[in-house]
Amino acid sequence: MGETILSVKDLHISFRTLDGKVSAVRGVTFDLKRGETLALVGESGSGKSVSMKAINRVLPGNTLYDQGEIIYEGQNLLKLSESAMEKIRGRKIAMIFQDPMTSLNPTMSVGKQIAESILIHEDMSREEALEQAVELMRLVGIRNPQESWKNYPHQFSGGMRQRVMIALSLACKPDILIADEPTTALDVTIQSQILDLIDDLKKQLNMSVIFITHDLGVVAHVADKVAVMYAGRIVEIGTAEEIFYNPQHPYTWGLICSMPSLDTKDAALYSIPGSPPNLLHVPQGDAFAPRNAYALEIDYEQQPPFFRVGNSATHYAATWLLAPEAPKVVPPAEILKRQDVFKHTYLLQI
């Protein structure tokens, strides 16, 4: 991988609500390298999307950026004016959202929408922008783009609409592409095609990609590095191989155990007991402790720091189980059954 292109440092974000202040992101830190795919994984409400929308400053007006920095090209994006962010948003850092029908304009042809995005950032004629839009549609695998650019979003299938969204996001050849659950609404075959497409485009354009997902199967398919989030914090981070083959945080164990394995038949899938905490009232200690069968007494008293896993320079987990004086705990045997999902996907890629 290349040099670090984005650094998020100790990011804290909250929302003002009628009930009080919701602490949605609580100290998120990570680096993204050029050409790297980082997957953010966790349950709904864990802070994945909020953290990533903060990068492009597209959060609602009741947002408070309490602390931290988001460094891109030597600048803290949280300190830039809105006019300065407009030169970065879409042009340097682009986003693909979950449902293209809510992101695309139903009254404008898809080709014109892509061309409009190009014209916002590039100095060219409408004819040149439309030619570039048609070429982008060809690049993302839309059939007969010379004619289909005239079509409206409702005339495309779900998978083709998502390809249009990818073309729209790539209009200015961004350095970073943030994909927020881009395949959730698609069937498995189309999902795989979209994931392969994003991976191919990443390599062609030397982009960095951040995937937001709750699906560990998607993570196994695309990620170089994985950050597991819970209750607004990253609780474990490492390479995809480290997270799948040597997970250390009990929450990561729970996520892996909840994956269907290749021999899963009619048996009920494992689910993590309990519910995530209400971040109107941030719990003392480790937020995962009430749901953690391996919780220690200290988990209810102090939030764990990050511990380095073995001699790895990339693998860290925020769990007291890694403290030198902690009792030795063996991960659930079910994890071994679920690792075949990653092994199967990984072998298909090499």
Check if the beta carbon of residue 9 is closer than 8 Å to that of residue 63: no
pLDDT of residue 234: 98
Report domain extents, the chain. Answer: 99-173, 247-349
Classify the phi-psi angles of 144: left when phi > 0, otherwise alpha if psi is within -120 to 50, otherwise beta.
left
Q: Is the pLDDT higher at 181 or at 246?
A: 246
Helix axes of 110-121 and 158-169: crossing angle, nearest 10 degrees: 10
Overall size of the chain counted in residues: 350
With CA atoms as reference, report the closest residue to 40 among 252, 315, 228: 228
Q: Per-residue confidence at 300, pLDDT binned at 50, 70, 90?
A: very high
Give tens-digit pLDDT for 1-13. Answer: 679 999 999 999 9
Tell me how far apart the alpha carbons of residues 162 and 143 are, in angstroms, rounded to a whole number.
14
pLDDT at 350: 43
Band of pLDDT at residue 347, cut at 50, 70 and 90: very low
pLDDT of 348 above 50? no
Q: Averaged over 152-180, what is the pLDDT?
A: 89
Q: Name which residue leads in pLDDT, 216 or 178.
A: 178
Helices (H), the chain: 48-55, 82-86, 100-103, 110-121, 126-139, 145-148, 158-169, 188-205, 216-222, 240-245, 250-257, 334-349
Q: Which of 4, 43, 6, 52 is nearest to 25 (CA)?
A: 52
State yes or no: pLDDT of 241 exceeds 80.
yes
Per-residue pLDDT tens digits for 70-109: 999 999 999 999 999 998 998 899 998 776 677 789 999 9
In percent, how much of the chain has pLDDT > 90? Answer: 63
In percent, the amount of the chain with pLDDT more than 70 equals 92
Q: Given pLDDT bands bounded at 50, 70 and 90, which one contains residue 267?
A: low
C-alpha–C-alpha distance, residues 140 and 5, integer Å: 25
Rounded to whole angstroms, what are the CA distances from 85 to 25, 72, 92, 119? Answer: 21, 11, 10, 17
Residue reference for tokens 């400053």: 57
End-to-end CA distance of the chain: 17
* Overall pTM > 0.75: yes
